[in-house]
Amino acid sequence: MGERTNYTPGTFCWTDLTTTDQGAAKAFYSGLFGWKAEDLPVGEGFVYSMMRLNGKDVAAISPQPRQQREAGIPPAWNSYVAVESADAVADRASELGATVHAPPFDVLESGRMAVIQDPQGAFFMPWQARQHSGAKLVNAPGALAWNELASPDLDASSAFYSELFAWTLEPFEGSPGTYLVIRNGDSGNGGFREVNQGEPPNWSVYFGTEDIDDGLAKVEELGGEKLMPEPVDIGVAKIGIVRDPQGAFFTLYDGQFAP
C-alpha cells in the first residue's frame, strides 16, 4: 500500500468529486469502496465531505458549484497536482496558453490552489499544500491509483505539461493505441491518451479494486453503470470504465500497484 505524508512537486496528490447530489454520491462510493465520510463545514451552507479508508484520507465529495450546474456541466472527479507555488504555476500556465478559470486562492489553512484549463481543454488543479498534503493512501484498493489525460493533440499536451511540470513522456509498449506514460522524475505519474470520438478533453481518475468483476458488479448494484461490456486487459492490470449514478466517470483498476 502507498501511504503518503507528502508529495514531490509535479505528482498527482488528491482528487475530489463535485456532484449534483452529495448525499447520494457519498452512499454510492461508501458502498463501493468502504469509504467513511466526515462532513467538514467550509463556508455558509457548504460542506466538504472527507472520505476515508481505514482512517486515511483518500478523496472528497462536495456539491457542484452553481455556475457549473446551471451550465449543464456533468459531475466530475478533479485531479490535483502538488506544486511549490500555486501562483507561479498559474502564471506559467497562462503564459503557455492555458486559461486560469479560478486564480490562486487559499483553502482555509489546508493549502492554496487554482483551477486551470489546459490549451486543449482539460481542467486540473495545482495544489500548494499547507496543513493538507493530499491523499494519505494511494495505489491500493479503494484509493487513487492513476490519473489519465484524454487529449485531442498529444504532441501539444506533451509540450505544455513538460514545460509546466518538467514531466517526461514515454510510450507505453504494447498499447493498441498511442499511450504515453508520465514520468515525474523517476516515478510513473499517470498517462496521456487520445480522446475518443465525442469525448471532451479531460483528466480522469482510476481507483483500485481487489477484483474487477466484483467491482463492476457492485457499481451496477449501487445504481451506477459500466461503460464497457467486459474489463479490458492492459497487461499490468484489468480496467473498466464506469459512471456513478449522478453521471461522473471514473475507472476501476485491478492489477499491479506502484509502491
Fold classified for 2-129: 2,3-Dihydroxybiphenyl 1,2-Dioxygenase; domain 1 (3.10.180)
Is a pLDDT exceeding 70 seen at residue 1? no
Quote the pTM value.
0.96
Is a pLDDT exceeding 70 seen at residue 258? yes
Torsion angle of the four alpha carbons 228, 152, 148, 126, in this order, in degrees rounded to the nearest 10: -140
Is a pLDDT exceeding 80 seen at residue 176? no
What pLDDT shows up at residue 172?
Answer: 87
CATH of domain 138-255: 3.10.180.10
In our burial notation (b when 16+ CB lie closer than 10 A, e otherwise), range 148-157 reads: bbbbeebeeb
What pLDDT shows up at residue 187?
Answer: 87
Cell of 68: 457549473
Q: What is the domain partition of the chain in residue ranges?
A: 2-129, 138-255
Residues 184-235: tens digit of each pLDDT: 998 888 999 999 988 999 999 999 999 999 999 999 999 999 999 999 998 8
Question: How far is residue 11's CA from residue 189's CA, in Å, rounded to a whole number?
Answer: 6
Q: Do domains 2-129 and 138-255 have the same CATH topology?
A: yes
| Phi-psi map region of 113: left, alpha, beta (phi>0 left; psi -120 to 50 alpha) | beta
Residues 18-77: tens digit of each pLDDT: 999 999 999 999 999 999 999 999 877 789 999 999 999 999 999 998 878 887 889 999
